[in-house]
Amino acid sequence: MASLIGYYSLIFGSCISFFIIFFSVKNFRDSLIFDTKIVNFTFLQFIFVIVSFLGLIISFVNSDFSNETVFNHSHSTKPIFYKISGTWGNHEGSLLLWLLVLTLFILLFLLKSKEQNKQYKILTLLIQQIIISGFFIFLIKTSNPFNYIFPVPEEGMGLNPILQDPALAIHPPILYLGYVGSSIIFSSALAATSLNYISIEWAKHIKQWVLISWIFLTLGILLGSIWAYYELGWGGFWFWDPVENVSLMPWLALTALLHCILVLERKLVLTSWVVILSIATFTLSMCGTFLVRSGILNSVHTFANDPKRGLFILIFLFCLIFLSLFIFIFFHKVEKKSIRNFFWLSKETSILINNWFMMYFLSVVLVGTTYPIFLEVISSDKISVGPPFYNKLIIPFLIPFLFTMAIGPKLKWIKSDLQSKTYLILFLIISFLLSVFIIKNITTSFLMNSVLLTSAFYLFFITLRDFFNKKTKNLSQNISHFGFSLLILSILFNNIFSTEVITNLKIGETYQSKNLNIYFESIDQKDKQNFKSIKGTFNIESNNGDIETLKPELRLYNQPNIVTSEADIKTNLLKDRFLTMNLVPNQEYFNIRYQIKPFMIWIWLSVLLICLGGITSLFKKKYED
Amino acid sequence: MYGRKVKLRFFFILLILITLTLSVYLILKSLEENVIYFQSPSEIKLLSEIEKKKIRVGGMVKNDSILIDTKEVKFIVTDLKNEINVIYSGVLPNLFAEGKGVVAEGYLKDRSLFLATKILAKHDENYMPPEVKAALEEK
């Protein structure tokens, strides 16, 4: 029943698109006043999509297995929380969620931008409606979440247990808010270009949307990363896996855009660049969906997929890119008069440098992610690009990037000099000495590590000082940059000082090394709602006599038949102790991995700080130069 | 006589060009060095020489082939035509089992022995890495 309502609601919702497009075009030509009918229709469309989405949720909650999506991804014994989150834990449901966010955002956009030009609003709405209709067709034609199966199966196939996790339950909605938020930037930038509406006022108005999607995208990536850390049991936070990369690429473009908007807010320069970045951000988000959904990617994250869907997104994507390039080339007018009052030592230059770096990082990630696909098409060689590629190309460039990040905000708009800034040099010396002191015992790549650490410390000290400096005007920028320095520092310490032990143990055995002993005491089996839990008890004795007990868990899910490991992590401010246990089928041995990861929690906290900077900026009315 | 502006613009364009060339060069060079090729046991049999480069081997874990002790795991990867012995010490993904697909990353010792440094995890029991699928289908 709920499925049926959901399905018809989806159909009605798609029909509303025609009305919206019809009335918008009419209103665009005939009248000077914005027709409120359009807002009402947009609201109606949003309601239909939300009813459809609720219909799917209810089908999941009631375990209505006559619905194909529910049958494929749910099970009656699953806890209620995961029945709900299972709604978007699959292809069809996640696309419905994507559509929901699309309609929500355009509604908010119309309500939020009352004071904007009428034509601009309507054009934005029209472009957004093209995207929305595309997704409606995509959903209804290739991935209908409400397909009916008869005879009705007794029991569902179950949700992949690895997705049955709180962090991953909220990860997709948050990430989608970021992805889809960029659609508004895309539509609005194109509308503004074709109407020649790009101005300082436009920059101020669109900045809110850039900030919102940037914050959600950052949070979404963070959640995914935390999940990978404790659920996959690899004990890292970033693997340069293609699926991670496709979320990083729009983030890099969006971050570059965010910085450019700050310039555009003051002077009418870089307009074409802002438009290109807006187009790039959304295109990359769409590409992300395409690459993840098409099954092309050679990724450890990939789920089984249907190539037809990929083809549809690919065609749709090309249409959008074509449309945007068409608008950009034929409508974009460069403001002649205001171009050349650029000076080398100014904030604009440093933001431009930031953008260069961002684009460089972006192209590295893009090449690393897509090269294997191209090579396979061309030569049928199957390859993968591993972390060394990214480390080698990105890490050296982080050094100048961090220095620019520290000094850039110190410069004034238009033109400035660096007089009476002796503390800048003082901090540099302190950072260098501190870095050398910290890693003097590390023999491998001492030079690179020490310079990198110096630049990170430098940014850290300079931003830290600015918190206590009354002259600091841009608090949000300072928080984010401080967060970034903290992030790089924690990642560095984490990489340099992590230690791990991997071994296979039977119950009652002890692993011994000169630093620690791991004693596998016992296992304890329990039956839970939809899985059998095996909890191991391990006593870890370090060489100074401290004994710590860690209890990692193995979960043997019944439907589908999958084993997952739940790491036991003891976190404190200085380090995480991380123990996972894996099952070796038909053997008495368990595969054990024990890791000591310093400053792990600071990686998460610093990303939150970076977000906090964005949030402060969003709630601050305006700041003076 | 060229004005300051033109000189500045020229310098700017030059700088952009240099940066572009440099980054393209770096990326391509690094790709060459850090790309990991995937090979099936049959392809390895046909290799003329053993390189010291990291590669990936994939196929199915042969039934009754897993041997384990405190230090390491030994097993046989097969594409149902040819097979290769793998020695590995490290984290085993939970989906690692006899009769299931597997991708191992590491170095070739000789044509019948592979020293793995990583066994790749998968998320889904229905999911078969595309290369493994292709390798199995080629038989």
Domain count, chain A: 2
Q: Do B36 and A384 touch (CB under 8 A)?
A: yes
Structural domain span for residue A148: 1-164
In a domain, A316, yes or no: no
What are the tens digits of pLDDT across the range B19-42?
888 888 888 887 777 788 888 888
The domain boundary, picked from A140, A164, A188, lies at: A164
Using a CB-CB distance cutoff of 8 angstroms, which residues of chain B are in contact with residue A368? 31
Interface predicted TM-score (ipTM) of this complex, two decimals:
0.76
Is residue A385's pLDDT more than 60? yes
- Higher local confidence (pLDDT), A149 or A48: A48
In a domain, A563, yes or no: yes
Categorize the per-residue pLDDT at B58 as very low, low, confident or very high, splitting at 50, 70 and 90.
confident
In a domain, A74, yes or no: yes
In a domain, A505, yes or no: yes
Q: Give the SS3 label for residue B70.
A: coil
In a domain, A304, yes or no: no
What are the E-state strand segments in B64-110? Answer: 67-68, 73-78, 83-88, 101-110
Q: Are residues B30 and B61 in the same domain?
A: no
pLDDT score at B127: 55
What are the tens digits of pLDDT across the range A264-290?
888 887 888 899 999 999 999 988 777
Q: What's the CA angle centered on A463, arms A458 and A467, to 5 degrees?
A: 150
Is residue A121's pLDDT more than 80? yes
Q: Are residues B46 and B87 in the same domain?
A: yes
Categorize the per-residue pLDDT at A109 as very low, low, confident or very high, splitting at 50, 70 and 90.
very high
Q: Are residues B83 and B28 in the same domain?
A: no
Categorize the per-residue pLDDT at A22 as very low, low, confident or very high, splitting at 50, 70 and 90.
very high
In a domain, A176, yes or no: no
Q: What is the DSSP letter of A585?
A: T
Q: Do residues B56 and B36 touch, judged by C-beta distance below 8 A?
A: yes
The domain boundary, picked from A115, A131, A164, lies at: A164
Q: Over pLDDT 90: what percentage of chain A?
A: 38
Q: Are residues B48 and B104 in the same domain?
A: yes
pLDDT score at A124: 94
Q: What is the rounded radius of gyration, in angstroms, for the C-alpha atoms of chain B? A: 23
Is residue A496's pLDDT more than 60? yes
DSSP string, A94-131: HHHHHHHHHHHHHHHHHHH-TTS-HHHHHHHHHHHHHH
**Which secondary structure element, helix H or strand E, spans residue A434, and what is its range?**
helix A422-438
In a domain, A364, yes or no: no
φ, ψ for residue A380 (rounded to 5)?
55, 20
Query: Which of A166, A164, A162 shows the shortest CA–CA distance to A174?
Result: A166
Determine the Cα–Cα distance for residues B18 and B22; give it in Å rounded to an integer.
6
Q: Do B31 and A389 touch (CB under 8 A)?
A: yes
Domain count, chain B: 2
Site from A165, A389, A590 to mutate, B interface, most B CB atoms within 10 angstroms = A389
DSSP string, A227-288: HHHHHS----S----HHHHHHHHHHHHHHHHHHHHHHHTTSS-SHHHHHHHHHHHHHHHHHH
Q: Are residues B61 and B124 in the same domain?
A: yes
Joined together, the tokens standing for residue A318 give 């090309």
Q: Are residues B61 and B125 in the same domain?
A: yes
Q: Are residues B41 and B31 in the same domain?
A: no
Q: Do B34 and A389 touch (CB under 8 A)?
A: yes
Q: Are residues B31 and B90 in the same domain?
A: no
Structural domain span for residue B11: 1-35
Q: How far is A582 from chain B (nearest CA, A)?
A: 6
Categorize the per-residue pLDDT at B128 as very low, low, confident or very high, splitting at 50, 70 and 90.
low
Using a CB-CB distance cutoff of 8 angstroms, which residues of chain A are in contact with residue B134? 382
Using a CB-CB distance cutoff of 8 angstroms, which residues of chain A are in contact with residue B17? none
Query: Which of A45, A60, A59, A58 shows the shortest CA–CA distance to A11?
Result: A45
Q: Do A304 and B73 touch (CB under 8 A)?
A: no
Q: Over pLDDT 70: what percentage of chain A?
A: 92
Q: Are residues B1 and B51 in the same domain?
A: no
Query: Which of A189, A160, A175, A177 shows the shortest CA–CA distance to A75?
Result: A160
Sign of CA dihedral A59, A63, A66, A72: positive
Amino acid letter for position A267: K
Categorize the per-residue pLDDT at A624 as very low, low, confident or very high, splitting at 50, 70 and 90.
very low
What are the tens digits of pLDDT across the range A163-192?
788 888 899 899 999 998 999 999 999 999
Q: Are residues B28 and B49 in the same domain?
A: no
Q: Are residues B27 and B41 in the same domain?
A: no
